[in-house]
Structure 1
Amino acid sequence: MSIAVIADIVASRQLVDRAAAQRRIARVVGDADRDLPVARQPLEAVVGDELQGEYDRLGDALGSLLLVRLALPDGIDCRFGVGVGAVRPIELDGRTVPEGPAWWAARAAIERTARLQQRAAPFARTWIEAAEGEDAAMVDTISLANAYALSRDQLVSTMSERTRRLTYGRCLGRSQRELAETEGVSQSAVSQALASAGSAAIVEGFAALTRGARS
């Protein structure tokens, strides 16, 4: 089983400088992969504003994607489709092309994310789909993961850029004092920002997702 991820840029056509946005996303992805090196294949641009990546565990993928969202600046956001299933890479003209049910599921998932944004959940940025034929236990796990992702995306989407940076730091175990010094604010200001944004739930969720990867 593999975890395939397709990402694209939200409202990319409205960006003044799409190339600059893509470069910034690439830097953010690189930083997230350095801070949580769990990707089998880190997200990388493939065509237009689309990125693709691959992970071994669902928790690894969701933890990595959380760091990416937290690190993105205001004005740049991504949505993610996560597919769970088999991957069968094929050789084509001397290069390996990702293929298989996990990728088909990821494509369906990102399309579902876009639909959710338009109607039921404007702040939705992540959806997970199981490939056809996955067992009932995995389907149940994915249902729970989607409930978590919707709630997480709601919190992250309403945070300020600074609060996202602070939450990122707390996910990595940095103290409030250290974060305050980096931001040039008081520790009390950091504590208040994190508390008002519900960051503690995000941090605890990140720890639960990545406990095995970071132990």
Structure 2
Amino acid sequence: MVEVQRPPVVLIGDVVESRASKDRRGLHRAIEAALAETNERVEHLEPLEITVGDEFQGVYPNLGSALDAALRARLALRPHAETRYGLGRGTTTTLDEARGIKDGPAWWAAREAIVAVEDQARRAALAHVHTAYRLAEGEQDEMGTSVAVEAALQCQDHMVGSLSERSGRLLRGLLEGMTQRELAEADGISPSAVSQRVRADGLAVIMRCHELLRTLP
């Protein structure tokens, strides 16, 4: 059986209300550091790079990698600012290599996705939802995968957005493979306190959801 080669996934991210930041220079440095860390940990075709203002973009070989990058970047930047992400699957084209001007259905789909996130954030009930996924026109949605991914992202995003600063740090540590004892030592709390937060804040559920999403082709 011949394996079908799926098109890449484009990721577009930006900072929410970046103009309100009192330290724009510091925010820019934080974005650069978060993207460098994410690029080091996640397989990519084109690394996440800042493009215009506080927007950044990257290209991934599969949906799982793109979703992994989105969550890692969000958690890395969360102490400084909230971010949103649009993912689009389809073909891509480089119009100008020197200037880095990209085009193609995947980019249009990713742009559509991030605009959708911005629009729905105007509803208080969906304020924590910061990631969306769209297929480019003409791409086949096998067994409604895109709808299932969207549903999982809405739930995962709401849980992540509802976390306290400390629980967000713990989740980031879990994502990096740290044990609960290591997290306790790093955060200056008891292992039982970490265990309690893992259960009460649903950190294990978020991790399990993320692990499953990372397997998507």
TM-score of the two chains, using structure 1 as the length reference: 0.90
2:145 is equivalent to residue 145 of structure 1 = no
Alignment check: 8 A CA contact 1:78 1:125 kept: yes
1:114-173 deviation per Cα after TM superposition (whole angstroms, max 9, x unaligned): 0010125111100111100011317x2111111111111100101112211211221232
Distance apart, 1:95 and its partner CA: 4.4
- Structure 2: gaps of 5 or more residues: 1-6
1:96-121 deviation per Cα after TM superposition (whole angstroms, max 9, x unaligned): 42211000111111100000101251
2:66 is equivalent to residue 22 of structure 1 = no
2:17 is equivalent to residue 11 of structure 1 = yes
**Partner residue in 2 for 1:81:** 86
**Partner residue in 1 for 2:3:** none
**Partner residue in 1 for 2:120:** 116
2:72 is equivalent to residue 67 of structure 1 = yes
Runs of 4+ in 1 over 4 A off after TM superposition: none
Aligned-partner residue type, residue 54 of structure 1: V
Once the two structures are superposed, the pairs formed by residues 32-43 of structure 1 within 5 Å of their partners are: 32-34=38-40, 36-43=41-48
Q: CA RMSD in A?
A: 1.9
Counterpart Cα distance in 1 of 2:215 and 2:113:
25
Aligned-partner residue type, residue 38 of structure 2: A
- Structure 1: gaps of 5 or more residues: none
Aligned-partner residue type, residue 99 of structure 1: D
Q: SS at 2:93's partner residue?
A: coil
Alignment check: 8 A CA contact 1:81 1:126 kept: yes
Alignment check: 8 A CA contact 2:11 2:86 kept: yes
Alignment check: 8 A CA contact 2:64 2:216 kept: no
Q: How many pairs were matched up? A: 210
Q: SS at 2:45's partner residue?
A: strand
TM-score of the two chains, using structure 2 as the length reference: 0.90
Counterpart Cα distance in 1 of 2:23 and 2:96:
35
